[in-house]
Amino acid sequence: MASEFAQPDCVFCGYKDAPVHLQRPRFAVRHCPHCRVLWCDPTRFDAEFNPDDEAAYIEVEASVHTENATRLHHLMHYAGPDTHPRLLEVGCMHGDFVGRRRGAGYQAPRA
């Protein structure tokens, strides 16, 4: 994925050459093992980037539900709604994860 927009290092803490979490045909989602942030590599600001392109979001939809179920399992184990009732997710795409957490007992105010 060598391009002028390549972003193998963590965009927040600078962790070098973070592992690929999810490989798609035109980009990878990398995961920082240090601060746990996820991002697209290459960054999606090239000539083909269209922030209104719904297909870019739908491209990963097949794995989103499985990943969200895994995330909920971990969240419930480490920070259940009985001890950590409020939930904030930054960059929540369509809000599916947040919406489902409301059903699991978390408070997740709408923006």
Show me where the domains of the chain are located.
1-49, 60-111
By the 8 A CB rule, do 96 and 64 touch?
yes
**Can you give the pLDDT at residue 52?**
65
Q: Is the pTM of this model over 0.75?
A: no
What is the distance between the alpha carbons of residues 18 and 31, in angstroms, rounded to a whole number? 6
**Can you give the pLDDT at residue 89?**
74
**Can you give the pLDDT at residue 64?**
75
What is the distance between the alpha carbons of residues 59 and 106, in angstroms, rounded to a whole number? 28
Ranges in the chain, pLDDT < 70: 1-2, 44-62, 91-94, 110-111
